[in-house]
Amino acid sequence: MFKIGAMEMDGTVAQPLTKIIKPSYGWMPIRLDAIWAHRELLYFLVWRDIKVRYKQTLLGVLWTVLQPLMLMVAFSIFFGRLAKVPSDGLPYPVFTFCALIPWQLFSQALTQASNSLVTNDRLITKVYFPRLVIPLSAVLSGLVDFLIAFIILLTLMIYYGISPTSALWTIPIFVLLAVVSALAVGLWLSALNVRYRDVRYTIPFITQFWLFVSPVAYPSSIVPEPWGWVYALNPMAGVIEGFRWALLGKTEGPGSELVLSFAVVVALFIGGLYYFRRMEKTFADVV
Partner 1 sequence: MSHIAIRAEGLSKFYRIGGRERYYTLRDSLARSFTVPFRWFRNGRQPAAVDCQSPVNPTLRSVNGNAQFIWALKDVSFEVKQGEVVGVIGRNGAGKSTLLKILAEITEPTTGWAEIRGRVGSLLEVGTGFHPELTGRENIYLNGAILGMKKAEINHKFDEIVAFAEIEKFLDTPVKHYSSGMYMRLAFSVAAHLEPEILLVDEVLAVGDAAFQKKCLGKMGDVANEGRTVIFVSHNLAAIAQSCEHGVLIHEGCVKKQGRINEVVQEYIGAAATSGSCVEPTAVEHVTGLNGIQVRKVKLVNGLADSFSVLWKQPLHLTIDIEVTKPLHNISFGLGVATLDGVAIFTVHNTDLSNELWSLAPGVYQISVKVHNQLRAGMYNLILGAHEAIAKTSIFYIPDAIRLEVATPTDAQDLYFEHNAGIVNGSSTWMLSNHLQGTSGDCMLISR
- For partner 1, the binding residue among 36, 51, 83, 208 (CB under 8 A) is 51
Which CB, 193 or 251, lies closer to partner 1? 193
Dist. CA 20–CA 203, nearest whole Å: 38
Which CB, 44 or 159, lies closer to partner 1? 44
DSSP state at residue 252 = P
Sign of CA dihedral 15, 27, 133, 193: positive
Interhelix angle 256-280/171-195, nearest 10 degrees? 30
Dist. CA 62–CA 56, nearest whole Å: 13
Which window, 43-51, 66-74, 158-166, 255-263, contacts partner 1 (CB under 8 A)?
43-51
- For partner 1, the binding residue among 27, 36, 44, 169 (CB under 8 A) is 44
Closest distance between partner 1 and the C-beta of residue 58, in Å? 15
Determine the residue type at 56.
Q
Which window, 49-57, 84-92, 102-110, 183-191, contacts partner 1 (CB under 8 A)?
49-57
Closest distance between partner 1 and the C-beta of residue 108, in Å? 19
User: Number of residues in contact with partner 1, rule: CB under 8 A?
Assistant: 43
Dist. CA 182–CA 185, nearest whole Å: 5
Which CB, 9 or 127, lies closer to partner 1? 127
- Geometric angle at alpha carbon 65, from 51 and 86, rounded to 5°: 150
Which CB, 72 or 124, lies closer to partner 1? 124
The pattern of x and - marking residues 158 through 187 that bind partner 1 according to CB under 8 A reads ------------------------------
Task: Kindly identify the residues of this chain, within the stretch 1-30, that bind partner 1 according to CB under 8 A.
Answer: 1-4, 16-24
Residues 6+ apart with CB under 8 A from 98: 153, 240, 243, 244, 247, 248
Dist. CA 110–CA 138, nearest whole Å: 9
**By the rule CB under 8 A, 125 interacts with partner 1:** yes
**By the rule CB under 8 A, 152 interacts with partner 1:** no
Q: Are 157 and 164 in contact (CB under 8 A)?
A: yes
Which CB, 4 or 158, lies closer to partner 1? 4
**By the rule CB under 8 A, 227 interacts with partner 1:** no
- Rg of the chain over Cα atoms, rounded to whole angstroms, equals 22
Burial group, residue 114, by CB count within 10 angstroms (0-12, 13-18, 19+)? buried
Which window, 41-49, 82-90, 180-188, 240-248, contacts partner 1 (CB under 8 A)?
41-49
Q: Are 88 and 95 in contact (CB under 8 A)?
A: yes
- For partner 1, the binding residue among 55, 161, 224, 226 (CB under 8 A) is 55
**By the rule CB under 8 A, 31 interacts with partner 1:** no
Residues 6+ apart with CB under 8 A from 160: 91, 93, 94
**By the rule CB under 8 A, 41 interacts with partner 1:** yes
Residues that bind partner 1 (CB under 8 A): 1-4, 16-24, 40-41, 43-45, 47-48, 51-52, 55-56, 122-129, 194-198, 281-282, 284-287
